[in-house]
Amino acid sequence: MIYFWKIYARVLGLLGTQKSLAWRLSIANIALACALFFEPILFGKIIDELSKIANQTEDRIWESISPLLLLWIGFGLFTIVSSTLIALYSDRLAHSRRHAVMNDYVMHVLHLPMSQLSRTHSGKLMKVMTQGTDALWSLWLSFFREQLAAFVSLVVLMPLAFFINWQLASILMVLCVFFVLLTHSILRKTQKLQQQIENHHTEMATQASDTLSNIALVQSFTRIDAEAKSLSQISQRVLQAQFPILNWWAVVTVMTRCATSISIFCIILLGVWLYSHSLVSVGEIVTFLAFAGLVITRLDQSVSFINRLATEAPRLKDFFDVLDTTPEVKDKPDAIDPGRLVGLVEFKNVSFSYNANISAVNNLSFCLHPGQTLALVGTSGAGKSTALSLLYRAFDRKSGLITIDGHDIEHIKLKALRQNIGVVFQEPFLFNRSIAENLRIGSPDASDEALHEAASCAQALDFIMSQPDGFDTIIGEHGRTLSGGERQRLSLARVFLKNAPILILDEATSALDTPTETSLLKALEAVTQTRTTLVIAHRLSTIRNADVILVMENGKAVESGNFEELMAQSGVFAGMMQQQYGMPNKLNGSTFDRIDNEQLHQ
């Protein structure tokens, strides 16, 4: 039970930023709930008045009843107007808070580092967000519409019922206690199952989103039936866990209905007995029955609220768990914003591992002066992308030191650090937005001329202009309406537009045909001359002019030097060259001079 109330307290706590409206609505609600108690009293009074004046003339009857009827009309109008206003404002409050909380959730998730996000599927994050905010919204609404009034009614009605007639009220009291014990035991029985259901729902959302985002794969590997079957298996698991809960709540419904009917029957029976002993008037019995009706309605509402809270609690727990995740990569309190950096990049004995057993980057050291180019080469999985992702703090190094312009990067504000680094990722991540919007993500204020220039520099202008709407063409999810090479050129163009002093190019030209790559490399040469550039390349021809080449194997740099030096070593790099271009292992100086890009592309 404490678990449920803790979650509920947090749900209400999220109304905090609109405290004053929430308080006003709560007070209006309490006032309305209290006003509703007068209805049965008024009702009883009219009956008593009628029985007193039963033998009087019609005029006399109307004279006595009219003030009570007018009071009832006034009271009815008041409750209609005030409940409409309360409903209107509580709807507005719940809607606006829902959007605000959704916004906070997205902001929070966007600030979580890749080290945490890569463990969670985006389908799950989406499901947790939509269902969590829906649950919040519906609980806020029912708090203002029903729960508060129900709670106040029960707290006020029960003593009032005892005040009117303690014998009859005792029956109601027994009914209340029965309801509380029943729901308490059902909650205990169903709590674990409810969490299981939610886990299955999450599994289903994750799997559905995974399947939908890989439709091409599913179709080409003829996996449609298999994927559908696996989804239906999850559905089966959901239903298997769901049915016992539904059964339990059906039992609750039957038992509460029976208890209610028995209670009303007992009230009438006891009422008749009390009346026959002149211990109660007919009006009092009528008032009491109306009271009992109110209490029972409120008890019903409370049970369905607890049912809803029990269903929503696991969703809300998942939602709060995401909100409570503290980012592993975050600004230190003394972090600085150094403005635009010059680009002196140094790695000193840097190590990193994704898990305790295997080291992804092992004792890596290099120093790169502003304007210089470093190339990382090596086998797939050697740790090249990981090493460079440490520079823009996708992950934080486990040991060693990474500095830019002498500042430890962990002491630079994350935003400032990332503004200084332009990254062309190994996968060209693109939004389902227009080409122009995709290009402007790093520099929203860039002019149209700058946009054209960056696109032209990335050899992208021709294909952009041939799109139906040019720069305004929407390119589909992950840029699906473009070719691989076109996507890659867009991701290069947006980095050119960002104009950061440090560039990371992770296989930036791997999807391009040779002529396009050659002209792009020429354009890149001009761009990289004034920037510190860190390149990862498998096609070794593209790193011919790098100032330093590091050859990585199993997270370690096994060779370093410039192209000529590495070739002269006849080591791993020279071996790679021979494999790729069939060149002699041992080359003399004059052979180097003859190696140019065109030869290497052969």
Ligand X SMILES: Nc1ncnc2c1ncn2[C@@H]1O[C@H](COP(=O)(O)OP(=O)(O)OP(=O)(O)O)[C@@H](O)[C@H]1O
Q: Which stretch binds Mg ion (CB under 5 A): 106-114, 195-203, 249-257, 384-392?
A: 384-392
Contact yes or no for 35/75 (Cβ under 8 A):
yes
Q: Which is nearer to ligand X, 172 or 364 (CB)?
A: 364
| Strands 548-553 vs 556-561: parallel, antiparallel or unpaired | antiparallel
Q: Among Mg ion, ligand X, none, what does residue 118 contact (CB within 5–8 Å per kind)?
A: ligand X
Q: Which is nearer to ligand X, 307 or 488 (CB)?
A: 488
Q: Which C-beta is closer to Mg ion: that of 497 or that of 543?
A: 543
Nearer to ligand X, 3 or 354 (CB): 354
What DSSP element (H or E) covers 192? Answer: helix 166-212
Q: Is 510 in the site for Mg ion (CB under 5 A)?
A: no
Question: Which tokens in the block code for residue 125?
Answer: 């994050």
| Region binding Mg ion by CB under 5 A among candidate stretches 2-10, 101-109, 382-390, 521-529 | 382-390
- Measured distance CA(319)–CA(313) in Å, rounded: 10
Note the residues at the interface with ligand X (CB under 6 A).
118, 354, 360, 380-386, 426
Contact between 4 and 147 under an 8 Å Cβ cutoff? The reply is: no
Checking DSSP bridges between strand 407-408 and strand 421-424, what pairing results, if any? unpaired
Closest CB to ligand X among residues 360, 409: 360
Residue 283 or 555 having the CB closest to Mg ion = 555
Work out what residue 380 binds among ligand X, Mg ion, none; the CB cut-off runs from 5 to 8 Å by kind.
Answer: ligand X
Q: How many residues bind Mg ion (CB under 5 A)?
A: 2
Q: How far is the CB of 383 from ligand X (least distance, A)?
A: 4
d(CA 233, CA 227): 10
Burial class from Cβ neighbours inside 10 Å (0-12, 13-18, 19+) for residue 118 reads exposed
User: In sequence order, which residues have a C-beta less than 8 Å from that of residue 32 and are 6 or more positions away?
Assistant: 79, 82, 83, 86, 149
Q: Which does 83 bind (CB under 5 to 8 A by kind): ligand X, Mg ion, none?
A: none
CB 158 within 8 A of CB 302: no
Q: What's the closest the beta carbon of residue 506 comes to ligand X, in angstroms?
A: 7
Q: Strands 373-378 and 421-424, how do they pair?
A: unpaired
Question: Residue 507 Cβ, how far from ligand X at the closest point, in Å?
Answer: 7
Task: Annotate 202-236 with b (16+ C-beta within 10 A) or e (fewer).
Answer: bbbbbbebebeeeeeebeeeebeeebeeeeeebee
Please answer whether residues 430 and 487 qualify as being in contact, where contact means their C-beta atoms are separated by less than 8 angstroms.
Answer: yes
Shortest reach from residue 105's CB to ligand X, in Å: 23
Q: Which residue, 102 or 117, is less far from ligand X as judged by CB?
A: 117
Q: How far is the CB of 504 from ligand X (least distance, A)?
A: 12
C-alpha to C-alpha distance for 384 and 360, rounded to whole angstroms: 9
Among the candidate windows 33-41, 129-137, 377-385, 396-404, which touches Mg ion by CB under 5 A?
377-385
- The two most distant CA atoms of the chain are separated, in Å, by 131
Task: Give min distance, CB of 505 to Mg ion, in A.
Answer: 11
Closest distance to Mg ion from the beta carbon of 427 (Å) = 9
Q: Which is nearer to ligand X, 19 or 119 (CB)?
A: 119
What are the backbone dihedrals phi and psi of residue 50, each rounded to the nearest 5 degrees, phi first?
-65, -40
Q: Which of 79, 130, 281, 385 binds Mg ion (CB under 5 A)?
A: 385
Q: Select 385 or 518, whichever has its Cβ closest to ligand X.
A: 385
Binding mask 406-445 for Mg ion (x = CB under 5 A): --------------------x-------------------
Question: Residue 354 touches which of ligand X, Mg ion, none (CB < 5 to 8 A by kind)?
Answer: ligand X
Inter-residue contact 139 to 11 (CB < 8 Å): yes
Residues that bind Mg ion (CB under 5 A): 385, 426
